[in-house]
Amino acid sequence: MRTISARQTGIIIFLTILANKILLLPSIMYQQTKADSIFGILVIFFVELLILSIFLYVKLKFPNENLQEILQKKIGHFCAKFIIFIFLIFFLFKTMLTYSVVYVYLKDLVYQDEFGFLAIVCFLPVVNHGVICGLRSISRTFELFFYLVIAGILFCFGIAFFTEISMPVFFTANPLTIFNTSFKYLFSFGDYLVLFVFIEKINLKKNDVKKFLRFVILGILIVSSIFVIFYAKYQITAFMHNNALADLLVFSVQFNAIGRLDIVAMLTIMTLGLFQLEIFQYAFCESFSMVFTKLNNKFAIAVFDILFFVIYFILIGKYELMINFTTSYLCYFSLLSNFLLPFIIFAVSFSKNKRIKNKGVRDEKSN
């Protein structure tokens, strides 16, 4: 089996941590909890580290088995497929949310016109090709562009300090409001679920855990820094700026004779968006293949493309509806997908295989 290294796995997680958090999320959370939104996301990050520890435990205990095999041995065929099907739904809507946020950014700041059908026609073949090539090819591509993405983000941070900023005002919202706001946007998280889906394809040993965790910490630090710098730059009007990373360059897009600098943010966001769409669609297709074992990966890609068109253009259609659907319904779904299911996987990993146990009883009787 072709596996990916701990470094490549860390870069994948770095990308998923940044997904749906560096553009719209700081702005819409600011409307309810102001700068205290940073405390809300830090609490979620801390809780999700428990999910990451669950993955590491399961991976080290079952180094060569996939999620379907682990669950089937412990809780049976039907329950295993039900859990994986929940993951499938999660990755489908995760892809749609990521696409919607990046699409609106490009529409407002680049094209300034509707080009929804053209955007999907352009991105789907590229993403589909990445999924067909496989996880190892995807991870190598991520690894190649990793330092360019980091450079683009750090560049946006640096330019932001050329404009007037001041320390954000904290402790203006009560804890209950912070909790409710964090829960409302819970679907933007679930960063480590992709690891469970292709757990058997990750080459991870105990001495690789620290190397892997460096990328996790880096992703959390970058998201937290974007929140803090964004709120420091826009202490009153943060709710009006819906693209946090790009808006760090507002009022500083022209620097001496160099010209417009917001092209750096645009290229960084487009690169991140494409990679994030690839990994979420790959996770969907892996989940699909485990639920429908008689259908191959190409069929899963075709089903994903059809579902994406139907849900996006017929059932949801507009960006505002997608965001409202995410905050009104998918936040409750996130409790199941992001937290409950990983803890169920953790719990069943302690149970003994009934088949093995019965076999041991028969062997004792025969002796």
* CA separation for the pair 290, 278 (Å, rounded): 18
CB 218 within 8 A of CB 14: yes
252, pLDDT greater than 70: no
CB 253 within 8 A of CB 35: no
Q: Which amino acid is present at 302? A: A
For the chain, percent of residues with pLDDT exceeding 90: 59
Structure-block tokens of residue 295: 């259908």
Q: Which amino acid is present at 271? A: T
* CA separation for the pair 235, 126 (Å, rounded): 39
Q: Which amino acid is present at 277? A: L
* pLDDT tens sequence across 168-187: 889 999 999 999 999 999 99
202 half-sphere exposure, CB direction, 13 A CA radius: 29
pLDDT band (50, 70, 90) for residue 49: very high
354, pLDDT greater than 60: no
Residue identified by tokens 């990983």 is 342
Q: Name the β-bridge partners of 4.
A: 202
pLDDT the model gives residue 343? 94
pLDDT higher for 360 or 243? Answer: 243
* CA separation for the pair 42, 219 (Å, rounded): 12
In this structure, the dihedral spanned by the alpha carbons of residues 129, 192, 215 and 157, taken in order and rounded to 10 degrees, is: 80
State pTM to two decimals.
0.91
Residue identified by tokens 């769409």 is 277
Q: Domains in the chain, start-ordered, CATH in brackets?
A: 6-361 (1.20.1740.10)
* pLDDT tens sequence across 218-245: 999 999 999 999 999 998 888 888 889 9
**DSSP for residue 238:** G
> What single string gives the DSSP state of each residue in 87-99?
HHHHHHHHHHHHH
pLDDT the model gives residue 258? 47
Distances (CA, A) of 250 to 14, 26, 35, 160, 272: 26, 16, 19, 8, 20
Q: Which residues contact 90 (CB under 8 A, 6 or more apart)?
A: 190, 193, 333, 334, 337, 338
* pLDDT tens sequence across 97-149: 999 898 888 887 766 666 667 777 888 899 999 999 999 999 999 999 999 99
